[in-house]
């Protein structure tokens, strides 16, 4: 287990914790914790639950070492490993994910390995990122999962670790161990696979790989060259220095795992990328865990299924079969499957449908169980028409982004207004999205996706507002403002003065001329008033004009006796008190 830096206070938290409770554990004001969450793009109120990963990152930023309370060990969700009997199955390539702190060079390293080690540089294929790619070293293949980004989404990183055999932890030699480095190490350990540390950016003048080794040793990862058992390689994604050595080390540690797969029978695996293509429909990159995947097979993944229409390898070359350890591009899904979900081949369309129906029922039951405390009240209020909804259509680059957005938007509500996601899908903004947003009177939001200029013109013509974002909290800020503008303004009433009626001189249908003494405050023409008859309010009206000593005046103060011309249809009697007030409106914030 990783040892904490001894100067840090260790706090333990469960899988999920309310923000307020977390602040109490840290002995910090809750506003400080909320502020830190906001800096990291998480909008959460005091009663909202945050997951352990978020708590760990926020805690680390605030100088704490946050550890998870012991939880029951469960079978990793996305794990590809199948228990095979001794000697059963055939060897398969290792599946490798690159993880680490933002800006430490994950993308650069993946790109560097790809460009230097993928031999077949066919036109187009090489630059297309499909969620995974393969390299060949000598006789052996390695599969790299190519989705290191979206650092905000720890869910993705978690999936990333769980479907992999080897995690390459990238640490920048000029920056050292950071919160997300620790998180990546934790996920890699949880996933139970092997780990290789790539100490990156050694070409930089400020690089200090020894310091990085020291910091990692403090965490319990002692480099082999210091007598420990963690393989660490100094690399540069920029100059490509030691990339070969890194790959050799990945193969070496993968051998410890004795990676074999069942090579016959129905295929199974994990979804590593998915999107909606305007021409091809749902497209998914899947990793094959076991068996052989063929064109025409029926696959079930989560609550969708496919009859495999076409298979492509990672260079988008058409293939007819895909084998264990390979990434394959699959078309034919009915809906876009979710990143990290398992898939399995089944015998027939009928079997696929039955499985999907069962899965949908399970998901419904699960979502009832984990509903937020006030969610049932919220949906009841929506159906009762008390809540006004702000409709949005969401398009995002990946399923993981969509999940994170849905979570971030779900918290934006109060007893009057809420966001309603009328549709959400993976992929660039298409004409159909604009049409849908128009029909639903919705704001069309694109997250990390593109909007073609011709579609921008179409949206303008149709009066559909389209907003593109790359940062979650900018999106949530804007939507919070939009919702705030839908809130009924706060009405603030101020009592300006009181007057006791001493005489009623003339009464018409809609006006009264009367006189009295100001007992409190100040009267001005234009003010509204209530007629207080004993303890009752007998009517309302407006002060039309005011006289003092038979002269028209603009104001009367406490102690003044004055004549009033008021617009009212209420009966005003001797001894009544007129309570003069003014009303101002103040915009509210969600």
Q: Where do contacts with ligand GDP occur on this chain (CB under 6 A)?
A: 102-108, 148, 200-201, 203-204, 236-238
Least gap, CB of 173 to ligand GDP (angstroms): 8
Closest CA to 421 of 444, 397, 392: 392
DSSP 69: P
> What is the C-alpha to C-alpha distance for residues 580 and 530, in angstroms, rounded to an integer?
7
Cβ-based nearer residue to ligand GDP, 199 or 578? 199
Cβ-based nearer residue to ligand GDP, 179 or 525? 179
Least gap, CB of 399 to ligand GDP (angstroms): 20
**DSSP-assigned beta bridge partners for residue 223:** 230
Least gap, CB of 172 to ligand GDP (angstroms): 7
Question: How many degrees, rounded to 5, is the angle at CA 199 between CA 196 and CA 202?
Answer: 150
Q: What is the 3-state secondary structure (H, E, C) of 208-269?
A: CHHHHHHHHHHCCCCEHHHCCCEEEEECCCCCCCCHHHHHHHHHHHHHHCCCEECCCCECEE
> What is the C-alpha to C-alpha distance for residues 161 and 95, in angstroms, rounded to an integer?
10
Least gap, CB of 151 to ligand GDP (angstroms): 7
C-beta neighbour count of 102 within 10 angstroms? 13
Cβ-based nearer residue to ligand GDP, 23 or 113? 113
> What is the C-alpha to C-alpha distance for residues 451 and 434, in angstroms, rounded to an integer?
11
Cβ-based nearer residue to ligand GDP, 110 or 163? 110
Cβ-based nearer residue to ligand GDP, 237 or 336? 237
> What is the C-alpha to C-alpha distance for residues 78 and 66, in angstroms, rounded to an integer?
25
Least gap, CB of 179 to ligand GDP (angstroms): 14
CA-based end-to-end distance of the chain: 43
Task: Check if the beta carbon of residue 551 is closer than 8 Å to that of residue 469.
Answer: no
Least gap, CB of 105 to ligand GDP (angstroms): 3
Closest CA to 199 of 143, 246, 259, 264: 246
> What is the C-alpha to C-alpha distance for residues 116 and 105, in angstroms, rounded to an integer?
16
Least gap, CB of 397 to ligand GDP (angstroms): 15
DSSP H or E stretch at residue 172: strand 166-172
Least gap, CB of 225 to ligand GDP (angstroms): 21
Task: Check if the beta carbon of residue 560 is closer than 8 Å to that of residue 518.
Answer: yes
Cβ-based nearer residue to ligand GDP, 244 or 555? 244
Cβ-based nearer residue to ligand GDP, 66 or 173? 173
Cβ-based nearer residue to ligand GDP, 111 or 416? 111
Closest CA to 415 of 380, 378, 371: 378
Task: Check if the beta carbon of residue 193 is closer than 8 Å to that of residue 165.
Answer: yes
Least gap, CB of 449 to ligand GDP (angstroms): 19
Cβ-based nearer residue to ligand GDP, 368 or 471? 471
Cβ-based nearer residue to ligand GDP, 159 or 395? 159
Least gap, CB of 3 to ligand GDP (angstroms): 25
Least gap, CB of 385 to ligand GDP (angstroms): 46
C-beta neighbour count of 140 within 10 angstroms? 14
> What is the C-alpha to C-alpha distance for residues 287 and 372, in angstroms, rounded to an integer?
34
Least gap, CB of 174 to ligand GDP (angstroms): 8
- The dihedral through the CA atoms of 336, 337, 340, 346 has a sign that is negative
Closest CA to 144 of 114, 100, 112, 103: 114
Cβ-based nearer residue to ligand GDP, 17 or 237? 237
Task: Check if the beta carbon of residue 22 is closer than 8 Å to that of residue 55.
Answer: yes
Helix (H, G, I), strand (E, B) or coil at 24: helix
> What is the C-alpha to C-alpha distance for residues 557 and 178, in angstroms, rounded to an integer?
68
DSSP 87: T
C-alpha separations of 356 from 141, 349, 351, 424, 506 in Å: 34, 10, 9, 20, 80
Least gap, CB of 164 to ligand GDP (angstroms): 17
Least gap, CB of 144 to ligand GDP (angstroms): 13
């Amino acid at each position: 287990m990783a040892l904490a830096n001894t100067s840090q206070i260790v706090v333990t938290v469960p899988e999920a914790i309310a923000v307020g409770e977390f602040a109490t554990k840290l002995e910090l004001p809750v506003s400080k914790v909320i502020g830190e969450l906001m800096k990291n793009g998480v909008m959460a109120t005091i009663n909202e639950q945050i997951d352990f990963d978020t708590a760990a990152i926020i805690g680390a930023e605030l100088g704490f070492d946050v550890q998870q309370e012991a939880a029951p060990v469960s079978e990793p969700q996305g794990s590809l490993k199948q228990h095979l009997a001794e000697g059963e199955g055939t060897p398969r390539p290792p599946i490798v994910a690159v993880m680490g702190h933002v800006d430490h060079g994950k993308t650069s390293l993946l790109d560097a390995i790809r460009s230097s080690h993928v031999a077949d540089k066919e036109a187009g294929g090489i630059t297309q990122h499909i969620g995974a790619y393969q390299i060949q070293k000598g006789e052996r293949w390695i599969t790299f999962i190519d989705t290191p980004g979206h650092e905000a989404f720890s869910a993705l990183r978690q999936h990333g670790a769980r479907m992999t055999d080897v995690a390459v932890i990238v640490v920048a030699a000029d920056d050292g161990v950071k919160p997300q480095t620790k998180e990546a190490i934790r996920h890699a350990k949880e996933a139970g696979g092997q780990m290789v540390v790539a100490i990156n950016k050694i070409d930089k003048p400020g690089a200090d790989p020894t310091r990085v080794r020291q910091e990692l040793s403090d965490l319990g990862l002692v480099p082999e060259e210091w007598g420990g058992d963690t393989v660490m390689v100094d690399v540069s994604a920029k100059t490509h220095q030691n990339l070969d050595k890194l790959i050799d080390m990945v193969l070496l540690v993968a051998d410890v795992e004795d990676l074999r797969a069942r090579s016959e029978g129905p295929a199974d695996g994990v979804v590593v990328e998915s999107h909606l293509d305007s021409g091809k429909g749902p497209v998914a990159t899947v990793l094959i865990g076991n068996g052989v995947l063929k064109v025409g097979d029926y696959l079930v993944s989560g609550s969708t299924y496919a009859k495999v229409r076409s298979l492509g390898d990672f260079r988008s070359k058409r293939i007819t079969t895909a084998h264990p350890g390979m990434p394959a591009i699959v078309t034919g899904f009915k809906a876009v499957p979710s990143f990290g979900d398992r898939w399995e081949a089944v015998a027939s369309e009928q079997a696929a449908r039955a499985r999907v129906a069962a899965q949908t029922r399970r998901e419904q039951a699960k979502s009832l169980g984990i509903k937020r405390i006030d969610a049932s009240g919220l949906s009841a209020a929506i159906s009762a028409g008390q809540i006004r909804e702000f409709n949005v259509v969401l398009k995002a680059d990946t399923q993981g982004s969509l999940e994170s957005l849905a979570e971030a938007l779900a918290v934006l509500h109060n007893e009057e207004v809420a966001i309603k996601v009328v549709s959400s899908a993976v992929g660039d903004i298409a004409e159909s999205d604009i049409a849908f947003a128009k029909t639903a009177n919705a704001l069309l939001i694109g997250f990390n996706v593109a909007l073609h200029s011709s579609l921008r013109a179409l949206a303008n013509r149709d009066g559909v507002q389209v907003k593109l974002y790359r940062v979650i909290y900018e999106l949530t800020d804007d939507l919070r403002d939009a919702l705030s503008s839908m809130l009924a303004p706060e009405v603030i009433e101020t009592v300006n003065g009181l007057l006791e009626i001493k005489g009623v001189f003339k009464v018409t249908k809609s006006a009264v001329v009367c006189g009295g003494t100001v007992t409190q405050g100040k009267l001005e023409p234009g003010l509204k008033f209530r007629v207080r008859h004993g303890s009752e309010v007998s009517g309302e009206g407006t002060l039309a004009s005011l006289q003092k000593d038979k002269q028209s005046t603009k104001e009367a103060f406490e102690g003044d006796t004055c004549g009033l011309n008021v617009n009212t249809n209420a009966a005003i009697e001797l001894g009544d008190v007129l309570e003069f007030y003014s009303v101002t409106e103040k915009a509210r914030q969600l």
